[in-house]
Amino acid sequence: MCRELTAWEKAVQFHGHECPGLAIGVRTVEAARAKMGISFSKDEEVVCVTENDACGVDAIQVLTGCSLGKGNLIYRGTGKQAFTFFSRKSGEALRIVLKPFKGEVDKESRIEYLLRADLEDIFEFKQPRYPQPQMARVFTSHICEICQEACPEHKVRIQDGKKVCLDCFQDYGRGW
């Protein structure tokens, strides 16, 4: 009989190796479950806004079901170790922010600390400063008049009277 993998084992299997960043993601999910009662999101019941594109995001994907493709994992590139969860069912929202780590330790000791410490010692819990994101939408595609590739209407720009994609668009700036 096979035993069920732990959250850490699932995350490592998905991510490919053990690291402190992955431990941050596993504990972030644990905190969101403890504070909000979220479970695996089959559709868009749970939304996660991640402020970084680091290792912990892999744990969030595999353990919560939030993904870019499904539209319930949203990248907000502040670079912070911060993750905001929204429950569409309950209306609850929670921003989970990693506290600064004190002291220098090796990788294994850092992983061990992150996986075993009290959640309140690792994270700050705050209310987000922005509203729950909209549900994912399907957009009409347009063909870029320069490269001839399809792009969604909300990413089309008008340049010299032509519909162009973001790759072909030449932004106009005056130095500020």
- The residue that leads in pLDDT, 5 or 92, is 92
- The residue that leads in pLDDT, 176 or 33, is 33
Taking domain 7-126, whether its CATH number is 3.40.640.10 is answered by: no
Q: What's the pTM?
A: 0.87
Smallest CA-to-CA distance from 127 within 36, 2, 13, 15 is with: 36
The CATH number fitting domain 138-176, selected from 3.40.1000, 3.30.60, 1.10.150, 2.60.40: 3.30.60
d(CA 155, CA 141): 9
Structure confidence by residue, pLDDT tens digits, 97-138: 999 988 888 999 999 999 999 999 999 999 999 999 999 899
d(CA 150, CA 164): 10
Asked whether the domain spanning 138-176 has the same topology as the one spanning 7-126, the reply is no
Q: Is 51 left (phi over 0), alpha (psi -120 to 50) or beta?
A: alpha
pLDDT-based confidence at residue 172 (cuts at 50, 70, 90): confident
pLDDT score, position 144:
97
Angstrom CA distances, 154 to 47, 114, 141, 146, 165, stand at: 21, 40, 9, 17, 10
Query: Can you give the residue ranges of every domain in the chain?
Result: 7-126, 138-176
Residue-averaged pLDDT of the chain: 95
Q: Determine the average pLDDT of the residues in 2-26.
A: 95
- Kindly report the backbone phi and psi dihedral angles of residue 62, in degrees, each rounded to the nearest multiple of 5, phi listed first: -70, -30
pLDDT over threshold 70, residue 174: yes
pLDDT-based confidence at residue 1 (cuts at 50, 70, 90): low
Instruction: Give yes or no for a contact between 118 and 134, defined as CB atoms under 8 angstroms apart.
Output: no
Q: Determine the average pLDDT of the residues in 77-102.
A: 96
Cβ neighbours of residue 68 under 8 Å, at least 6 residues apart? 75
Exposed (0-12), middle (13-18) or buried (19+): which is 26, by Cβ within 10 Å? buried
